[in-house]
A and B are shown apart, each in its own frame.
Chain A
Amino acid sequence: MLGILVLILIASTNYQNNMGFMTGFILLAVGFLSVFYTFRNLKGIEVRCQKSGAVFATQDAVVRVQLVNNTKSQRLGVGVGLAKKSVIYLDVDEQAKSEGVIYLSTERRGLLDVPRIACTTMFPFGIFEAWSWVRTPYQILVYPKPLPCPEPLIASSSGIEEGQTREKGSEDFQSLRDYQAGDPIKQVMWKAYARERGLYSKEFEDYVGEHHTLTWDSVAHYDKELAISYLTDAVLAAEDSQNVYGLELPQQTIAKGQGAEHLHSCLKALALM
């Protein structure tokens, strides 16, 4: 823009063309005004974030960003994202809200700080960019990535029937179907979900009343991260097969239990190990 402006002013000076000067000055004034307009386009917008639930490592965490416009004018083309260069664009009407989703890639287990969020705009003329960084207080829990262990991990089975293997139990239900809203959370096949194969519900299940305690000792001879991944996989498998299971970790022991809550506390313990 600056180049064009200089070109216009030089040509106008040379040819003593007042109409050219006018055009140049209008362009200059528009550039000047766009400083204010671009700044205003961001001003007064409230940014609200809603973090998603826990995710498994290497899965994308989801942060819902809501732009709230309490002002009396529209805000168009407001980009939100993790970096100024990669944003999604939202338009917010006056006195309205607009929502977008930012995906946060995860690598390692543990607590992930939601990074500051860029809020940027070049509207209306694309001459200047206004931006602001929004900090959120959130942390997202990242579960370890599940990996199937090459050896079975049933250490101390306070089992009811000896010899009944995990494999057997998992074969007891054959039919899987797509998750439908309203399916009991118990029926969700978490293991498949963790592997990013989508949400599935088990059609019906035999209640396989196995009781396991998964111990750190059984995987302690592996590399630490690998061991954690194996245990994660085992926990998910146990939950999937409706087993009652417990977890024994060096610093923490989780009593036997079952269900989403229990699963979460097991995975959290593994994530934060």
Chain B
Amino acid sequence: MNVKELPITRPGIVPLLVLVQAVVLLPLWFYIPAWISAVTIALLLGKYFMHRHGAKAPRWILLIVVLLCVGGVFWQFKTLNGRDAGIGLITLMYAFKLLEARSYRDASLILFISFFIVVTAFFYSEAIWMGLYLLAAILMILLGLVALNSPKGVEGVGRIGKISGVTLLQAIPIMVLLFLFFPRSSAPLWSMPSDTQAGSGIDDTMNPGSIGALRTFDDIAFRVDFEGDVPPRSEMYWRGLVLSEFDGFTWFKEQHSPIRQELELPMTPTYEYRIQMEPNNRNWIFGLEDLAEAPNGAYLFSDFTWNRRRQTTQRFIYSAQAYEIDFSQRPLTEFQLNRYLQLPDNSNEDTREWSVEQRQNHQTDEGFIRWVLSYIHQGQFYYTLTPPVIEVDSVDGFWLDSKQGYCEHYAGAFVYIMRAAGIPARVVTGYQGAEYNPYGDYYIVRQSDAHAWTEVWLEGEGWRRIDPTAAIHPSRVEEDLRSDASSRDGWMEEFGSDTGFEAPQGFLNNLALRWDALQSFWSETVMGYSRDMQFGWLRKLGIERHQYRYLGYGLLATILLAGFIFGYLVLRSTQRLEPVTKYYLLLLKKLRDHGIDCDRTMGPRDVLQLTRATSQKVYSRAAPALKTYIAMRYQNEQLDSEAVKRFRQQVSRV
């Protein structure tokens, strides 16, 4: 019999395989279509019960079910290509394979494929608990392999558990070294299939209601890690998109914004930071105002927004700087002027008239802006997340009638009024504020921090940020939004508000922050480990980016080092001789030193005779030891530690 012929009908093997598959598939069941999950569960249960009752599924039935399932996957995804369809198909085939598994080879294949199935689950989630689950799943697979290769199968779970557990523990340091050294590619090998998963986040259009929906999400949008100076939270405006096109109801991102020309930048950036962005399936990324230098794979537009070439479908980490840029010598071009003054005809006529009228009462643009803000502050404007629905002419409806709304209502109306008064203005969307995490020393920006504000162009100064929402009087902010509004809005200082809300700092909140710090470390340092980071720490070791070969050396060194360490650890113990044998060999050596021509191939009785024949003197000293040895080895003498000790003493007297 060959190991390859070990039957998988040995007790415990099939149930263990079922269990391994269940453990491996468990995370996927939450992500793949429910019917695929149901079919795989049914197949696993089916295999288990058929095994218990010694039944076998007829092949033709299997074939029909397989075909039905393939058809189902095609019907579900309209393709058999791509990530989701592929994973659906592979999980089904994986479950079917167990159903028809009969030989060692089948079982072994299933167990190795299990490693691959484990990986597919990570396309859906890279959370920290998945990392822990990974270890558990791999332990299960190893357990299956050990059981499959033991003639007695699962008998003695403790024994095979120990072997697989120890191996896994030893594999982890090697994995870490390989993880650090293994050469990474910065770009995918083939273009990734487009992702159908919906992400949440800021959209490239804004109409009444779009950001409001986000305000209820506590999901994390991104985390920020400042190097050096940190701006006050009220100044943290995370710029995402500039919306400058308006159709009377909805604000749009301009379609073909030119890529920014090189600007002369001050020597040192105002702020430097790293952003770890959660996937949002959008092209844009966020940063503080006055951005410079696009991160890898992104480009910067003249309106200071960034776009990536690919959508952010996976966590994306980038470094950025904010600069203060002097616009005083850089007037707007004719083209820009037109763009930022553009208003649709035949809509919101009342607000337009109102604006033109009011502008005439003020001498300067700046004076007019101040007046509009104080108009918001003193007028009956309310901040609420549940404003009345406005059907058409969103600005008129809000500014002149309901006066209830949130950031995008205010930002939209404010830009409209500015443009109507002849001041170039634009809407900016992104996030405002952040929560500080003292345990990880970084800031968390959540979807609920989504915000819209405005920028107006002032001659001789350039773009100035104006947040009209911040001008609402605190007493007219909805009760449950106050703490929220207070943390974000600059008017607290500007208008001398006395509301003074404190952020909740309870035990649970601390715990949540600690957990987030751990998650941040996991996603930034572990999951975000990339070629750039690899070269980053190699550079600290004095190895430059172009010296690729050092990665190879590192890899080789890892393997050799691990080889030596494990060779020593694993093989060392077996070198030791059993004590009795050791002393006997010592005895023989002593006899040889006395001129007795003996070696290990001679039996002890022959050695005894030879000694007697050669030297009576040596014989008298060696005989007790030899006799004890014969007694211990061949005469069922009790071989306890006492006897071994006596033997050692007898040997030492020779």
Interface, chain A (partner B; CB < 8 A): 1, 4-5, 7-8, 10-30, 32-34, 36-37, 39-40, 43-44, 70-74, 76-77, 79, 84-91, 120, 122-126, 129
- A222 → chain B, closest Cβ, in Å? 41
The complex places the Cα of A127 from the Cα of B515 at a distance, in Å, of 39
- A210 → chain B, closest Cβ, in Å? 45
Q: Which residue of B lies closest to A4 (CB)?
A: B112
The 3 closest A-B pairs by CB, nearest first: A29-B171, A89-B151, A29-B174
Report yes or no: A89 in contact with B159, Cβ–Cβ below 8 A: no
Q: Mark B181-208, 1 if CB is under 8 A from A, else 0.
A: 0101100111010000000000000000
Which residues of A sit under 8 angstroms from B562, Cβ to Cβ?
A: 29, 32
What number of residue pairs across chains A and B have CB atoms under 8 A from each other?
175
The complex places the Cα of A253 from the Cα of B164 at a distance, in Å, of 66
Report yes or no: A23 in contact with B123, Cβ–Cβ below 8 A: no
The complex places the Cα of A130 from the Cα of B179 at a distance, in Å, of 29
The complex places the Cα of A72 from the Cα of B138 at a distance, in Å, of 27
- B191 → chain A, closest Cβ, in Å? 9
Report yes or no: A73 in contact with B573, Cβ–Cβ below 8 A: yes
Which residues of A sit under 8 angstroms from B108, Cβ to Cβ?
A: 126
Which residues of A sit under 8 angstroms from B152, Cβ to Cβ?
A: 76, 91
- B372 → chain A, closest Cβ, in Å? 48
The complex places the Cα of A26 from the Cα of B163 at a distance, in Å, of 15
Report yes or no: B116 in contact with A26, Cβ–Cβ below 8 A: no
Report yes or no: B179 in contact with A22, Cβ–Cβ below 8 A: yes
Report yes or no: B116 in contact with A29, Cβ–Cβ below 8 A: no
Which residues of B sit under 8 angstroms from A37, Cβ to Cβ?
A: 163, 167, 570
Q: Which of B1, B151, B178, B566 contacts A25 (CB 8 A)?
A: B178
Known: A25-B174, A30-B167. A40 touches B570 (CB 8 A): yes
Report yes or no: B188 in contact with A15, Cβ–Cβ below 8 A: yes
Interface, chain B (partner A; CB < 8 A): 1-3, 6, 108, 112-113, 115-116, 118-119, 122-123, 126, 130-131, 134, 138, 142, 145-146, 148-152, 159-160, 163-164, 167-168, 170-172, 174-175, 178-179, 182, 184-185, 188-190, 192, 314, 526-530, 559, 562-563, 566-567, 570-571, 573-578, 581
Known: A18-B126, A37-B570, A126-B108. A87 touches B1 (CB 8 A): yes
Known: A14-B188, A19-B126. A27 touches B134 (CB 8 A): no
Q: Which of B145, B190, B577 contacts A125 (CB 8 A)?
A: B145
- A87 → chain B, closest Cβ, in Å? 6
Q: Which residue of B lies closest to A45 (CB)?
A: B574
Which residues of A sit under 8 angstroms from B134, Cβ to Cβ?
A: 19, 22-23
Q: Which of B126, B566, B571 contacts A17 (CB 8 A)?
A: B126
The complex places the Cα of A126 from the Cα of B142 at a distance, in Å, of 11
- A157 → chain B, closest Cβ, in Å? 48
Report yes or no: B122 in contact with A17, Cβ–Cβ below 8 A: yes
Q: Which of B167, B530, B570 contacts A16 (CB 8 A)?
A: B530
- A74 → chain B, closest Cβ, in Å? 7
Which residues of A sit under 8 angstroms from B175, Cβ to Cβ?
A: 22, 25-26, 28-29
The complex places the Cα of A152 from the Cα of B563 at a distance, in Å, of 73
Report yes or no: B171 in contact with A19, Cβ–Cβ below 8 A: no
Report yes or no: B174 in contact with A126, Cβ–Cβ below 8 A: no
Report yes or no: A29 in contact with B170, Cβ–Cβ below 8 A: yes
Which residues of A sit under 8 angstroms from B164, Cβ to Cβ?
A: 124
Report yes or no: A126 in contact with B2, Cβ–Cβ below 8 A: no
The complex places the Cα of A76 from the Cα of B115 at a distance, in Å, of 25
Q: Which of A10, A72, A91, A125 contacts B189 (CB 8 A)?
A: A10
Which residues of B sit under 8 angstroms from A28, Cβ to Cβ?
A: 174-175, 178
Report yes or no: B150 in contact with A79, Cβ–Cβ below 8 A: no
Q: Which of B6, B171, B577 contacts A26 (CB 8 A)?
A: B171
Report yes or no: A24 in contact with B119, Cβ–Cβ below 8 A: yes
Q: Which of A17, A26, A30, A44 contacts B574 (CB 8 A)?
A: A44
Report yes or no: A13 in contact with B570, Cβ–Cβ below 8 A: no
Interface centre among B119, B159, B571 (most CB of A within 10 A): B119
The complex places the Cα of A163 from the Cα of B178 at a distance, in Å, of 92
- A172 → chain B, closest Cβ, in Å? 46
Which residues of A sit under 8 angstroms from B6, Cβ to Cβ?
A: 89
